[in-house]
Structure 1
Amino acid sequence: MNLTIPFSNEWFQAAHNSQVSAAPSGGFRLNTTPEGGGTELLPGSLDSSVWQEYEFMNAEVYHDSHDVLVLLFSFRDQDSRMITYHTGILPGVRTVICLPLKHLNGEKLFLDRYPGVMQTVLRGDAKVDRKRIAGFSIATIPSTTSRSVEISGLSLSGAEPDFTYEYHPFIDGLGQLKGRDWQGKTANQAELSERLHLERQLAATADFSGNGLGRYGGWKGLAFQATGYFRTEFDGSNWWFADPDGYALFSTGMDCAGPASPMRVTGMEHLIPQLPEREGSYHEAWSQAGQEFSFGIANLITTFGLQWRSAWTELTEYRLRQWGFNTIGNWSDDGFIKGSELPYVYPLSDFPATEQTIFRDFPDVFSREYEQNAEEFAKQLVPLREDRRMIGYFMRNEPHWAFVDSLNLTQLMLKSPVRYASKERFVQWLGEKYGTVEQLNEAWASSYASFEQLYTPHGTAASDHPVREADYAQFNRMMIRRYVEIPARLCKQADPNHLNLGMRYAWVGSDDVLEGCEWFDVFSLNCYQFAPDREQIMHISERLGKPVMIGEYHFGAADGGMLAYGIRAVATREERGAAYRYYVEQAAAIPQLIGVHYFQWNDQPVLGRFDGENYGIGVVDVCNRPYEHFVKAAKQAHEQMYQVRTGLVEPYNVLPAEIPKTGF
């Protein structure tokens, strides 16, 4: 059973930077300005109870813009809490979208991918009450141009829609975008092969012995005591990594240094040209499950045959050294790490979880289950603890719970009917603090008959009482501290030789996130800005007494062969190179910052990786062609970053002009 939402002025009236009109399909056309805008379904158009009777919102979408269109579908409840589905739509292709309404509970950040759709991400508050929906809107994010999109068949439904598409190949046999030309587009496989063979000959004769760096990549211009493993040092002015021989290192790393970024095939078959068989000479281009295919690897196999992996390894080692990168970053190819001489960082897997989570991926941290899983988690470091090329390890990447700023985990825990071990610890803590339930009631202005009543989701405490809120906040910090401290302590016991590089937070929404982080040797975060946030980095370092590093940042350009420019973007590839140089040299001038790692080596696939992300942010494209302007600027930045860091020269200060992103 479906409930169709037709276009009429009675339904769609409130518009912001946009115009809405009827479309021939029976749906409507939304035209928005470059600033982004949209239209709202009037609060009185649907009874709020209707939203809980259906499980999905479905529609068909078409646009013919120059890049991926990011549509925002926002749901607001009567308490003004809002969750927005950010959904990416390819240009020139009819796309069926499906929004599962169950995710208004806020428990997921990245949604499972439907056929034909790019990435879908949820942003907003921790939870929206489906029983009390007060508003629904459709909008676009800012863009370089105006946007026009036709939406038809908008409806509420009890079932997912039919995802039947016409065959319409969107990329060529090399994995490049069809129907568009740009400078640097590879004409054919012969051109690709000739270029790579010539560069491999250069790699075979390269000599980096006179580059002023030690065998572990450290800068010989400054030396500390050698200890045999990487560690951190403060010289009175700047924090540094010290390599095993004692030489100072400002880490410029490359994330995802691998032969390709695989493309998701499942659900995108109607947009893909004929692919090689899963068995045979191209089998290494396929994932084991057959759901992903790598055009990058296929191009290497065609060029180098059975020797493709060793050829790629030689080329990539040569390139990284030639361009001045000194660290193999997160999620890089294991075989490349083993065959390289560069130092590397290691991402631990399977961060300790519990069967019952408090919110998203935040576990029941006071449970024995969490402690046991943390013990197993730490064991993966044991085989690595004698490796001198390993700088350190990241415990995890971008905890999903931390995407909600100032999150009140205590409140969410008490609203749940689950009797978490952490909830039992909270009740115990209140008993220790207040002694009797009568004293708790006096402090909270509540009327509990016993402490046991706190296990009931609907308590009797005043919802905005300052003492209760303060207790919630204090226990919130206690849970976050335990979340960090238990696995960090066990990791240090398993491997005392290597640095704990932290959790690579997406951002730091409040100081609560820093609880327990003094257990790290380095605090890491991902910083998608045009320059690192100097004030935040200084604050974190001062608070923890530790240096800071950046695990991810990137820039995309609008003048190439990619449809999504990433989280930060500029107009041209030349400006993208300048953006990299600006970021690195500004970073080198921050005393508390000891490294910046770029995300990522390869462009993502035009049709998206596993989750639909398809950013043009690589150092090399799908045909393994380096972006010349980027490489030139990277070399300049790396050649003088130590002079910048020691104050001998000023950092590059030409701030690039930003254009709107197409990130999800």
Structure 2
Amino acid sequence: MKLYLLLLILATAAALCARAQESPETTFSGFTLRPNNADIAIENAPEHPTLRITFHKGAEWPQVLFKPASPLDWSGVEALSFTLSNPGKRPVAFGFRIDDSLDADGYNHSRTANGSIAPGQTQTFAVRFGPDPMSLGMRGLPPIPGMVTLGVSGGNPFSFQHVVQFQLFLHSPDQNVTLALSSFKTLPLSTEDLKGVVDAYGQYAKADWPGKVHSDADLVQQRREEEADLKAHPPLPDRDPYGGWARGPQLKATGYFRTEKYDGKWMLVTPSGHLFFSLGLDVVESNYPTFITGRESLFASLPDPNGPLGAFYGESGAYMGPLAGKRGKTFDFYRANLYRKYGPNYQTEWQQMALKRLPSWGFNTIGNWSDPIFYQNQQVPFVATGGVYGDFATVSSGSDYWGRMPDPFDPRFAAAADANMKNLAARVRNSPWCVGYFIDNELSWAGSGPDGDVGLALGALKEEASKSPAKRAFLHQLQEKYGDIARFNAAWHADVSSWQQLEAPYKASLPLTQEAHQDAERFVRAFADKYFQTIREALKRYDPNHLYLGCRFAWHSRAEVEEAAKYCDVVSFNIYAPRVDANQWGYLADLNRPCIIGEFHFGALDRGMWHPGLVSAPNQETRAQMFIDYVHSVLDNPAFVGCHWFQYVDEPLTGRTWDGENYNIGFVTQTDRPYRHMVAAARRVGAELYTYRFGASHAAAK
């Protein structure tokens, strides 16, 4: 994933401005309140004052800002607790942000947590910011007893010794939302010993919950129960072999997946000519190692390296955390549990089980990041996972979470794209089961803060022209427009003596002037045009029959999306939110191009996991309902042709090796037990995909 921690709510650049709009001063719990697109009222019940907040419908980031009289030192604090009540009839997803500077933009100088509260519930939350879980190589730690514990994320720099404000906020509510908040309390750093908190099956050792595995016999019994369940829920009867709508209209059959606008709605069409909405599961694979090195005391019982489970030890590198840039010893609890459950032939048994599960659960697509072994399957459609990798120049956008942006003006980028597309296409180009190709993921298209939408242009200017093809392209554009450097200086409010001087690294003054911003956006469009054109040409050179599904936008501006629509058969986004907001994503209709969601998820903390992921749910029941609501919101948007859940299996309790994510985001646990509420939700949604999309009466008429 990715995600940028996709910061549900962290944001896209300055969306959550650090300075809320002014209003008459009101104090609560010792803090001055500054509501923005929200109404507040204090109810002074004896000993328990309550702040009632009504967040306004339609506002993008309604919030209440809490300002202390002077900066706070929370360096010795483990968490800030508060109690929320939700008197409404719908779950509410909320965010909580802490800033150490008035220049905070929601990522830099900020720490943000996200949570949710069920309807009619009162719940105490703890926003935990010490100790840093990533110092132990994971995103979340064991929960604080009696509270829903929310982890924080954000960019550097940040100091808990200088907290200047914090805020409670929502994102784009589609109706007025009221929450009641109690006073805040700081919790001192805990002295709890983390020794032995992970049991032999990779589960939290200090809690119990329905479905927890206590013995190998539990795994075998769960297998028997699931086999009976799958037998009782065969694939849907009104589907063609690919999962398309067999009872729907018969359209042109080309032998490959394609797109068509039908009845005013974009749809995929199966190789046999039936309408297809892609409901997928990402990361259908069995490889989920977690680091042992430096954390040996966390694990209560690791197997004998010379025994049958010794094969699941390994070694890996890391991108983030204490082993960043190094290698360490790992153990894969998921594969060990598969061995315990299915025996020595576990890999084949697991693969066959996955191919049974997906159609039974209502899914029709194996999503991105999945085991390439599924490229050979002829039971469930799949997407091919690709990227452009090689030695070429890069550019910073200012928010380079997964790394700097490839420079498409570098000829070496085109050569790398050609080589990568050739190798990937050779594996799937003749398969009718391949829906298409996702190429790259969550690239750094945009930055944060002032003029973040043109971050690539600002980043290009900071490069040395002799080493940056992108900068040379931008300077050529500027010279063509202005000619005389004096005209450039006047437009940009700059003080540069010559075009030659501008070839050196240059930091533009922010905010940009209106004309400078227009210049920068023009360059960003040219950058995106070059990127998408280069990849499309390489991909279609080796596979003209399958769909180019885009780059799975996370950070982006509308400019890049519009350029992508010129070259992608389907434009893709990773959208982590409680649902797809109709107002926010309504502009996709202007593209006249089908779109697809490559990632979304929700997580909860009621099954022994330590982090809910990027969008939080209060429990598994609500998590399942949120899944239904999200897919319905996608079906309601005529531009979308599918959405894929990230991911098939929960991440390891102590974090995946690459970046420490340890989220409850799977349809199955690390012991390979399906989440029954999620399965029931997926079966419901999968059964009604086409009748919901087109209406039951319309479907019957057709």
Q: TM-score category by the smaller chain? A: 0.7 to 0.9
Q: 2:135 aligned with 1:114, yes or no?
A: yes
SS at structure 2 position matched to 1:602: coil
**Structural mapping, 1:358-369, within 5 Å:** 358-359=396-397, 360=400, 361-369=404-412
For residues 365 and 336 of structure 1, do their structure 2 counterparts lie closer, same or farther at Cα, with a shift above 3 Å needed?
A: closer
SS at structure 1 position matched to 2:696: coil
Displacement of 1:41 in angstroms is 11
Letter in 2 for 1:593: F
Q: Which residue of 2 aligns with 1:158?
A: none
Displacement of 1:620 in angstroms is 1.3
Alpha-carbon contact 1:549-1:596 (below 8 Å) kept: yes
Q: Distance in 1 between matches of 2:621 and 2:524?
A: 46
Q: Distance in 1 between matches of 2:671 and 2:370?
A: 19
Alpha-carbon contact 1:62-1:95 (below 8 Å) kept: yes
Q: 1:559 aligns with which of 566, 582, 606?
A: 606
Q: 2:463 aligned with 1:409, yes or no?
A: no
For residues 338 and 19 of structure 1, do their structure 2 counterparts lie closer, same or farther at Cα, with a shift above 3 Å needed?
A: farther
Q: Which residue of 2 aligns with 1:466?
A: 514
Displacement of 1:60 in angstroms is 7.1
1:398-430 Cα offsets, whole Å, 9 max, x none, are 113436352332223223456422222222222
Q: 2:441 aligns with which of 397, 417, 423?
A: 397
**Structural mapping, 1:170-569, within 5 Å:** 170-200=197-227, 208=235, 211-221=237-247, 222-259=249-286, 261-278=288-305, 280-289=307-316, 291-339=329-377, 341-351=379-389, 354-359=392-397, 360=400, 361-383=404-426, 384-402=428-446, 404=448, 405-417=452-464, 419=466, 420-441=468-489, 448-457=496-505, 464-506=512-554, 508-543=556-591, 545-569=592-616
Displacement of 1:397 in angstroms is 1.4
TM-score, with length taken from structure 2: 0.72
Q: Distance in 2 between matches of 1:63 and 1:215?
A: 52
Q: Distance in 2 between matches of 1:303 and 1:82?
A: 43
Alpha-carbon contact 2:259-2:269 (below 8 Å) kept: yes
Q: Distance in 2 between matches of 1:619 and 1:80?
A: 34
Alpha-carbon contact 2:104-2:110 (below 8 Å) kept: no
Alpha-carbon contact 1:18-1:39 (below 8 Å) kept: no
For residues 134 and 473 of structure 1, do their structure 2 counterparts lie closer, same or farther at Cα, with a shift above 3 Å needed?
A: farther
Q: Which residue of 1 aligns with 2:121?
A: none
Q: Distance in 1 between matches of 2:393 and 2:457?
A: 18
Letter in 1 for 2:435: I
Displacement of 1:251 in angstroms is 0.7
Q: Distance in 2 between matches of 1:93 and 1:116?
A: 16
Alpha-carbon contact 2:421-2:539 (below 8 Å) kept: yes
Q: Distance in 2 between matches of 1:207 and 1:294?
A: 31
Q: 2:131 aligned with 1:83, yes or no?
A: no
Q: Distance in 2 between matches of 1:621 and 1:478?
A: 45
Q: Distance in 2 between matches of 1:324 and 1:418?
A: 53
Displacement of 1:441 in angstroms is 4.9
Letter in 2 for 1:386: N
Displacement of 1:267 in angstroms is 3.8
Letter in 1 for 2:523: F
Alpha-carbon contact 1:391-1:498 (below 8 Å) kept: yes
Alpha-carbon contact 1:76-1:83 (below 8 Å) kept: no
Letter in 2 for 1:565: P
Displacement of 1:444 in angstroms is 5.0
Moved more, 529-538 or 235-244: 529-538
Q: Distance in 2 between matches of 1:257 and 1:147?
A: 42
The runs of 5 or more residues in structure 1 that have no matched partner are 1-14, 21-31, 47-57, 99-112, 154-163, 652-664
Q: Distance in 2 between matches of 1:589 and 1:508?
A: 23
SS at structure 2 position matched to 1:612: coil
SS at structure 1 position matched to 2:204: coil
Moved more, 437-446 or 71-80: 71-80
Q: Distance in 2 between matches of 1:188 and 1:458?
A: 62
Alpha-carbon contact 2:651-2:663 (below 8 Å) kept: yes
Alpha-carbon contact 2:65-2:166 (below 8 Å) kept: yes
Q: 1:587 aligns with which of 634, 648, 651?
A: 634
For residues 73 and 327 of structure 1, do their structure 2 counterparts lie closer, same or farther at Cα, with a shift above 3 Å needed?
A: same
Displacement of 1:331 in angstroms is 1.1
Q: Distance in 1 between matches of 2:136 and 2:507?
A: 44
Q: Distance in 2 between matches of 1:649 and 1:170?
A: 54
Q: Distance in 2 between matches of 1:502 and 1:172?
A: 41
For residues 594 and 352 of structure 1, do their structure 2 counterparts lie closer, same or farther at Cα, with a shift above 3 Å needed?
A: farther
SS at structure 1 position matched to 2:649: coil
Displacement of 1:598 in angstroms is 1.0
Displacement of 1:237 in angstroms is 1.8
Moved more, 469-478 or 383-392: 469-478
SS at structure 1 position matched to 2:396: strand
Q: Distance in 1 between matches of 2:158 and 2:460?
A: 16
Q: 2:660 aligns with which of 600, 607, 612?
A: 612
Displacement of 1:566 in angstroms is 2.2
Letter in 1 for 2:364: N
Q: Distance in 1 between matches of 2:275 and 2:458?
A: 46
Alpha-carbon contact 1:507-1:526 (below 8 Å) kept: no
Alpha-carbon contact 1:365-1:422 (below 8 Å) kept: yes
Letter in 2 for 1:617: I
Alpha-carbon contact 2:550-2:571 (below 8 Å) kept: yes
Q: Distance in 2 between matches of 1:187 and 1:81?
A: 42
For residues 372 and 114 of structure 1, do their structure 2 counterparts lie closer, same or farther at Cα, with a shift above 3 Å needed?
A: farther
Q: Distance in 1 between matches of 2:470 and 2:127?
A: 51
Displacement of 1:167 in angstroms is 6.3
Q: Distance in 2 between matches of 1:17 and 1:607?
A: 38
Moved more, 596-605 or 253-262: 253-262
Displacement of 1:192 in angstroms is 1.7
Q: Distance in 2 between matches of 1:115 and 1:401?
A: 30
SS at structure 2 position matched to 1:219: coil
Displacement of 1:122 in angstroms is 6.4
Q: Which residue of 1 aligns with 2:118?
A: none
Q: Distance in 2 between matches of 1:323 and 1:138?
A: 45
Letter in 1 for 2:136: P
Displacement of 1:135 in angstroms is 6.1
What number of residue pairs does the alignment pair up? 583
Q: Distance in 2 between matches of 1:398 and 1:439?
A: 37
Q: 2:676 aligns with which of 611, 619, 628?
A: 628
Q: Distance in 2 between matches of 1:622 and 1:397?
A: 25
Q: Distance in 1 between matches of 2:602 and 2:335?
A: 24
CA RMSD across the alignment? 4.4
Displacement of 1:352 in angstroms is 5.8
For residues 340 and 198 of structure 1, do their structure 2 counterparts lie closer, same or farther at Cα, with a shift above 3 Å needed?
A: farther
Alpha-carbon contact 1:62-1:94 (below 8 Å) kept: yes
For residues 244 and 524 of structure 1, do their structure 2 counterparts lie closer, same or farther at Cα, with a shift above 3 Å needed?
A: same
Alpha-carbon contact 2:100-2:165 (below 8 Å) kept: no
TM-score, with length taken from structure 1: 0.75
Q: Distance in 1 between matches of 2:77 and 2:162?
A: 21
